[in-house]
């Protein structure tokens, strides 16, 4: 039992130390930033490799893209969003590498069309096959990113003593009710004071919300878990989950 507990404490200590490091970097410690990036090069290479499906060396262009993305993640990271730096950086690295692969593919396709090749028909066929292969790759990678995003969100929900089962059981049954709950969550996260109350206290500031929105306290309490979940999505870096919410709110 003791080894397990020590591992848990070590993990928590390491995460706190990493967050403190990022805070110092945000305050202008550029030397510490370079040191952090250098120490996480293996993490960057591994993340890039999962996208490219091959071993990545530091001399590869894809690794450079991952390095830039990791640096960008450091600059944009905020512990208030609920994710760890590494989870946030992993998603950002994968997005940037996928964008790079798509751009390279488009450039290659253009070169096929403008080249004076006596075997133009064969070249065009290869181009089409490349596009089909890339499209299949994009679909699989996006599925993987969507799955990782859901797993990250599940971990954040756990910090608020919530689960997907809770949301399924207690989410509003009617479309209008779901939309109203989403609008309540949106109003809350747009208010910095209420957003901080939610993230720090791990509970819904019902009294303050009651005075802000044209919905009864009873309705807010009934949809409490659903509103919290939507608010967490809106404050986090969840591309796919946010797309769903955006579609409902703007409909």
How high is the pLDDT of residue 225?
92
Nearest CA to 56 out of 14, 109, 100, 108 is that of: 100
Buried b (16+ CB within 10 A) or exposed e, 194-229: bbebbbeeeebbeeebeeeeebeeebbeebbbbbbb
Give pTM, 2 decimals.
0.51
184 vs 123: which has the higher pLDDT: 184
246 vs 57: which has the higher pLDDT: 57
How high is the pLDDT of residue 44?
92
In the structure encoding, which two tokens stand for residue 171, read together? Answer: 């989410």
Return the SS3 of 28: coil
Half-sphere exposure at residue 145, Cβ-oriented, CA atoms within 13 angstroms: 25
pLDDT per residue as tens digits for the range 127-137: 444 444 555 55
The predicted model gives 148-152 an average pLDDT of 84
How high is the pLDDT of residue 135?
58
Is residue 70's pLDDT more than 90? yes
Distance CA 132, CA 137 (A): 9
Q: What is the H or E stretch that residue 217 is in?
A: helix 217-222
pLDDT per residue as tens digits for the range 108-123: 544 444 444 545 444 4
101 vs 82: which has the higher pLDDT: 101
Is residue 12's pLDDT more than 70? no
Is residue 146's pLDDT more than 90? no
pLDDT per residue as tens digits for the range 185-210: 999 999 999 999 999 888 899 989 98
Is residue 41's pLDDT more than 80? yes
Is residue 223's pLDDT more than 50? yes
Work out whether the CA dihedral 83, 88, 91, 92 comes out positive or negative: positive
In the structure encoding, which two tokens stand for residue 228, read together? Answer: 């919290």
In sequence order, what are the residues at sequence separation of 6 or more whose Cβ sits closer than 8 angstroms to the Cβ of residue 137? 101
- For the ranges 71-75, 81-85, 240-244, the maximum mean pLDDT occurs at 71-75
Mean pLDDT taken over the chain = 78
Least confident range from 65-69, 207-211, 228-232: namely: 207-211
């Amino acid at each position: 039992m003791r080894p397990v507990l020590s591992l848990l404490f070590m993990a928590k200590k390491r995460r706190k130390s990493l967050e403190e490091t990022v805070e110092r970097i945000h305050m202008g410690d550029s030397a510490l930033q370079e040191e952090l990036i250098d120490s996480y090069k293996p993490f960057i290479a591994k993340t890039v490799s999962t996208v490219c499906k091959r071993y990545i060396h530091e001399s590869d262009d894809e690794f450079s893209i991952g390095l830039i993305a990791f640096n960008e993640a450091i600059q944009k990271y905020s512990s208030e969003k609920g994710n760890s730096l590494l989870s946030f950086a992993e998603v950002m690295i994968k997005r940037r590498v996928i964008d790079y692969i798509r751009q390279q593919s488009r450039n290659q396709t253009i070169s096929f069309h403008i080249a004076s090749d006596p075997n133009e028909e064969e070249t065009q066929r290869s181009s089409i096959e490349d596009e089909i292969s890339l499209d299949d790759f994009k679909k699989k990678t996006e599925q993987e990113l969507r799955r990782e995003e859901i797993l990250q969100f599940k971990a954040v929900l756990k910090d608020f003593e919530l689960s997907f089962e809770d949301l399924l059981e207690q989410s509003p049954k009617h479309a209008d009710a779901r939309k109203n709950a989403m609008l309540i969550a949106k109003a809350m996260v747009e208010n910095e004071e209420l957003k901080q109350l939610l993230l720090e206290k791990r509970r819904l500031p019902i009294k303050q919300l009651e005075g802000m929105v044209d919905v009864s306290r009873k309705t807010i309490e009934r949809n409490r878990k659903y509103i919290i979940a939507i608010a967490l999505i809106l404050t986090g870096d969840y591309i796919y989950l946010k797309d769903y919410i955006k579609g409902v709110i703007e409909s």
